[in-house]
Amino acid sequence: MNAKNLSERLKTVASFVEEKSIVADIGSDHAYLPCYLVHSGIITQAIAGEVVKGPFESALKQVKSEGLEEHIDVRFGDGLEVIQPTDGVQTVTIAGMGGPLIASILEAGKDKLHTVEKLILQPNIHAKAIREWAINNDWKIVDETILEEHGKIYEILVLKRGQMTLTDKELLIGPILIHHKSIVFTKKWVNEIAEWRRILNQFNKINITSEVKQKKEELEHKIALVEEALKA
């Protein structure tokens, strides 16, 4: 993968970016996404944020080698701390991390979101943590999609400011995804159920402490929610 030949996963993230918006891509690694967005003419200005030296240097190198230094500012820093109020960032993208890490980055950097109108988030796992964060912080899900690439399944959540209430089922599965049961969607949840059942089987072989009992009940609840959604 490179900025001109982007993965389907990051191309799908890019498809939600509005034309001419100012974007901050957090956890940018090689800065492929901002480079692609600028090369495609979708945007002209972006910040690529990275907290790890190696990926930060890769991003600097990529932006330089593509001659995009005027358009993409690569900044070293933790999460949203790379964003300054004068940047006028309208869209934040965070892709390729776990849902809880994405939610913790948003939580820690809430005060950097004043100018931001749209969050495009691609958790590799546990999207639920992002939906919970959104509810608690007055962001609502306006779009969701799911795709498979190289045998891995990814969800993308698009948030705008606003309030929403979600049922347990919608929190887990996604309020929009739940209405579009694609082949990939069904595959993801059939796999999840199989994994949860495998864990339940392991639990049946060990001493039931109160912690195990609670975990068992949580898994059984999740299985029931997903089975209900798949049957509906």
Residues at the site binding ligand SAM, with contacts judged by CB under 6 A: 10, 26-29, 49-52, 55, 78-79, 95-97, 105
> Considering the complex, what minimum distance in angstroms separates the CB of residue 5 from ligand SAM?
13
CA gap 196, 176 in Å, rounded: 23
> Considering the complex, what minimum distance in angstroms separates the CB of residue 50 from ligand SAM?
5
Q: Looking at beta carbons only, is 28 or 145 nearer to ligand SAM?
A: 28
CB under 8 A, 24+ apart: contacts of 181-185: 181/230, 182/146, 184/146, 184/147, 184/148, 184/153, 185/146
Q: Looking at beta carbons only, is 25 or 170 nearer to ligand SAM?
A: 25
Q: Two tokens at 60?
A: 């600097």
Q: Two tokens at 167?
A: 């049922």
Q: Looking at beta carbons only, is 83 or 171 nearer to ligand SAM?
A: 83
> Considering the complex, what minimum distance in angstroms separates the CB of residue 77 from ligand SAM?
7
Q: Looking at beta carbons only, is 102 or 134 nearer to ligand SAM?
A: 102
CA gap 197, 189 in Å, rounded: 12
Q: Looking at beta carbons only, is 49 or 99 nearer to ligand SAM?
A: 49
> Considering the complex, what minimum distance in angstroms separates the CB of residue 200 from ligand SAM?
30
Q: How far is CA 150 from the centre of its chain?
A: 18
> Considering the complex, what minimum distance in angstroms separates the CB of residue 80 from ligand SAM?
8
Q: Two tokens at 34?
A: 């901002």
Q: Looking at beta carbons only, is 47 or 171 nearer to ligand SAM?
A: 47
For tokens 């776990």, what's the residue? 98
> Considering the complex, what minimum distance in angstroms separates the CB of residue 73 from ligand SAM?
14
Q: Is 98 in a helix, a strand, or coil? A: coil
Residue 1: name the closest of 43, 29, 38 by CA: 29
CB atoms within 10 A of CB 24: 27
- According to DSSP, the residues that pair with 156 across neighbouring strands are 145
